[in-house]
Amino acid sequence: MSERPHVVEFKNVRQIFNIGTPREYLAVTDLNFQVADLEGKGELISMLGPSGCGKSTILNLIAGYRGYVPPTEGQVLVFGKSVTGPGPDRGMVFQKYSSFPHLTVLDNVKFGLNACNRGKPEERTDMAMAWIKKVGLGGHENKYPRQLSGGQQQRVALARSMVLRPRIILMDEPFSALDEPTRIEMQRLLVELWHDVEATVFMVTHSIAEAVYLADRVWIFATQPGRLAVEITDALPPSRGDDPLSSQERSDFKEAVQLVTHEFQRVNP
């Protein structure tokens, strides 16, 4: 039986922007990592690091956005193939609310299904409505983004990404603009939805507690230039499916937060 290709693999990746100009800078360097395809489970990787260390660049490289692929040096592979552009196997949730303002909630969630010509029109509506209900927006499907709160708008973004059932979900500080109660509520929702789609998730966050609660792995990046400095796995407490607030009161959770904080400060003095 042939070995399953890695979900994502970086081989000696180095990314330089504005080459040959006074604004040239090295964003990330020496990136080498592999993320296995855990069938029926998926994995969530939290990415921590100071601003400018290349976390978002890594997400954009995996997403295959123009201006990022191919990398300046090295290879970015998704399921064993070099990334040449975006695809429905990868979904992105941004920090800023990214719904199309002229489309209703329903049409926003259907957007990717329509673009990919996924199923018949009535099937797309049914799939979109199912995900709208999963994210707790049933009854809001005919509203426009301006009529929703920040938390509700991020629910739309989650539904729009999840409805395609991507194998990879890329999240760039998706909850940073939310108040703390809403942020905790969205953490609960993310875990629930992640179990549903069994995807591999790469999530950039500036919250160490959020990283520890959500992640199977925590990656800590250093800057100047950006590089992956520390990976923490075994020290993370099993909190998948547990309530965020209850998890944060456990001694093993607090110890993990202290460890991650220490390592973050060590590589970013």
pLDDT attached to residue 240: 66
Cβ(203)–Cβ(174) below 8 Å:
yes
pLDDT attached to residue 97: 63
Per-residue pLDDT of the chain in tens (269 residues, 90 and over written 9)? 457 899 999 999 999 999 999 999 999 999 999 999 887 778 999 999 999 899 999 999 999 999 999 999 999 999 999 999 999 999 999 876 678 899 999 999 999 999 999 999 999 999 999 999 999 999 999 999 999 998 899 899 999 999 999 999 999 998 888 888 888 888 888 888 887 888 999 999 999 999 999 999 999 999 988 999 999 999 999 876 688 888 889 999 999 999 999 999 999 99
Q: What is the pTM of this model?
A: 0.92
Cβ(119)–Cβ(175) below 8 Å:
no
In angstroms, the Cα distances linking 115 to 66, 118, 143, 165 are 18, 8, 21, 14
Neighbours of 135 (CB within 10 A): 24
pLDDT attached to residue 124: 96
Cβ(196)–Cβ(23) below 8 Å:
no
- Bridge-partner residues for 217, per DSSP? 45
How big is the CA angle at 143 (ends 140 and 148), to the nearest 5 degrees? 80
pLDDT attached to residue 1: 44
d(CA 218, CA 233): 7
d(CA 155, CA 160): 9
pLDDT attached to residue 182: 87
Strand ranges across the sheet with 200-204:
90-93, 168-172, 200-204, 44-48, 217-222, 227-232
